[in-house]
Structure 1
Amino acid sequence: MKRPLIMLSALIALTACTSSSTGRTQVMLFSDSELDKMGAASFEEMKTKTPISTDKAINDFVQCVANAITKNVPKSVHKGNWEVVVFDSPQVNAFALPGGKIGVYTGILKVTENQDQLGAIIGHEVGHVIEHHSNERLSANKLKNMGMAAATTAVAMTDVENKGLWMAGLGVGLQYGVIMPYGRAHESEADIVGQDLMARSGFEPSASIKLWQNMAKLSKDAPAEFMSTHPSNETRIKQLTAHLPVSMKYYQTGNRPQCKKPSLIPTPKS
């Protein structure tokens, strides 16, 4: 059982040849062009399956915030304009994909109180793209599948009883011991990168802290942190508060966008 996992670790060490902006070692097995194609295909599919908002005031507001954020994203991340779509859905969510795609659900506008808090959301999501987290997640899943295949072969060659239970245990160990903490590291990194990005874009960086205080009110029944791919709201608030003095160095009040949130956000379609 140990040998295939040692081989897997060696493979990770050989392929981990880059670092994120925060100094975290990254494993990336896919090219940027592959990720851009995946992002574009996924975005097109979402546009066919999820209603798109036609509310001009809402679209203008989201586009204004997104434009302010994306103009401060390095061209090495994406060249050209970003496509921004507002989905008419009650989901309290937003996302950004490789290839310059941003999706915002109208449900999250019920939580974001102003342009600064929406700037925190979009900054966070674009932070995932800046740090190549999609590549890392896909690579981690690929390595996980390779490790499971190697372990399956090793177990089949032994006389261990209850082989099915061994494999189930290994799967749980990988899920909660490797894949999920990896996701939490991504989320924490995107929080920090996003806070810096929103500050550079003219949004008050302390709004990211208020945003997660708002989120905490909506997620009282959230799973324990070790069972989740996301840090707890309390953890995020502490990390963002600790990093705030750094982000404030990038914030200039003369650079503030003027994105007006509509006074009335229609109830999204369920």
Structure 2
Amino acid sequence: MKRCLISFFVCAALAGCATSPTGRNQVLLYSDSQLSEMGSQAFAGMKDELTISSARVENSYVQCVANYITAQVPPKVFSGQWEVVVFDDEQVNAFALPGGKIGVYTGLLKVAENQHQLAAVIGHEVGHVIAQHGNERMSQSTLINVGTQAVGAAMAANEVANSGPIMAAIGLGVQVGVQLPFSRTHESEADAIGLNLMAQAGFDPRQSVNLWENMAAASGGQRQPEFLSTHPAPQTRIEDLSADMPAALPLYRNAKSKPNCKA
């Protein structure tokens, strides 16, 4: 069993080895076409389940910002027309999916005070797609599930005492020690990619800091400790974005156009 497990992990790593836009090593087990199909299916389901905003100004505003951001996306990531939908929901959130799908909740428009701050969010979400974070998370989950099942089977076969608590501890250790930091790495990477995207599109990257100040105020300080959260603390994000600003500002100054998207 041990030899089979090792062989599986070695083959999976060799088959799916890749590098993220920031130079980080990745294991990607799924094809682009598989992810695009999954993204399209998930988006169709959300459109069926959630209320789509009929406010013409809101839709035009979000579409305008998204158009400038997606114009910066490399064709190899997605070369078609991005579908952008505004959902009438108080969530302060947005998302992007493989296959050219973007969703923005109306609650976000109350916190993102201008086009630049909205661009920071959309750029961040598109950054997840560019860096193939969805593929990476699914691949990681697949590998963890196979490994955990193998450990459980080995303990059962050898009649290990207290195997239940041991497996529970393994599950918690994987979550806190691997999955949560992995998600925080994705968030930080998407922040960095999104900062460059918005700057290249002609949005002021300095407004990304203002956005996270607004996010922190909107949360009322109610959040889990960072080591138990899938997202970095707002202050951590602000510090990281500020550190990346010297590289983003020249992109903004040299942008071919300066958008004028109005809410």
TM-score band, normalised by shorter chain:
over 0.9
Aligned residue for 1:75?
A: 75
Partner-residue secondary structure (3-state), 2:252: coil
Q: Extract unaligned runs of 5+ from structure 2.
A: none
- 5 Å matches for 1:69-218? 69-218=69-218
- 5 Å matches for 1:40-55? 40-55=40-55
- Percent identity over the alignment? 54
- Aligned residue identity for 2:250: K
Q: CA deviation at 1:13?
A: 4.1
Structure 1 residues 143-194: Cα deviation after superposition (integer angstroms, max 9, x where no partner)? 1111111111111122421110011111111111111111111000000000
Partner-residue secondary structure (3-state), 1:249: helix
Q: CA deviation at 1:134?
A: 0.5
Q: Distance in 2 between matches of 1:47 and 1:238?
A: 36
- Given the alignment, which residue of 236, 239, 257 partners 1:255? 257
Q: Distance in 1 between matches of 2:67 and 2:155?
A: 53
TM-score normalized with structure 2 length: 0.95
Q: Distance in 2 between matches of 1:229 and 1:9?
A: 25
Partner-residue secondary structure (3-state), 1:84: strand
TM-score normalized with structure 1 length: 0.92
Aligned residue for 1:61?
A: 61
Aligned residue for 1:228?
A: 229
Partner-residue secondary structure (3-state), 2:80: coil
Q: CA deviation at 1:95?
A: 0.1
Q: Distance in 2 between matches of 1:167 and 1:14?
A: 28
Structure 2 CA distance for partners of 1:55 and 1:66, relative to 1, 3 Å: same
Q: Distance in 2 between matches of 1:6 and 1:234?
A: 40
Query: Whose relative contact order is higher, 1 or 2, with alpha carbons under 8 Å and at least 6 apart?
Result: 1
Structure 2 CA distance for partners of 1:12 and 1:225, relative to 1, 3 Å: farther
Name which of structure 1's ranges 244-253 and 30-39 shifts more when overlaid on structure 2. Answer: 244-253
- Aligned residue identity for 1:105: Y
Q: CA deviation at 1:254?
A: 6.0
- Aligned residue identity for 1:142: T
1:35 aligns to 2:65 (yes or no): no
Structure 1 residues 76-117: Cα deviation after superposition (integer angstroms, max 9, x where no partner)? 111111000000000000000000000000000000010000
Q: CA RMSD in A?
A: 1.8
Give the conservation status (yes or no) of the 8 Å contact 2:111–2:218: no
Q: CA deviation at 1:218?
A: 2.0
- Aligned residue identity for 2:259: P
Give the conservation status (yes or no) of the 8 Å contact 1:123–1:198: yes
- Aligned residue identity for 1:162: N
Q: Distance in 2 between matches of 1:152 and 1:159?
A: 10
Count of residue pairs the alignment pairs up: 261
Q: Extract unaligned runs of 5+ from structure 1.
A: 262-270
Q: Distance in 1 between matches of 2:5 and 2:123?
A: 37
Q: Distance in 1 between matches of 2:174 and 2:2?
A: 14
Aligned residue for 1:268?
A: none
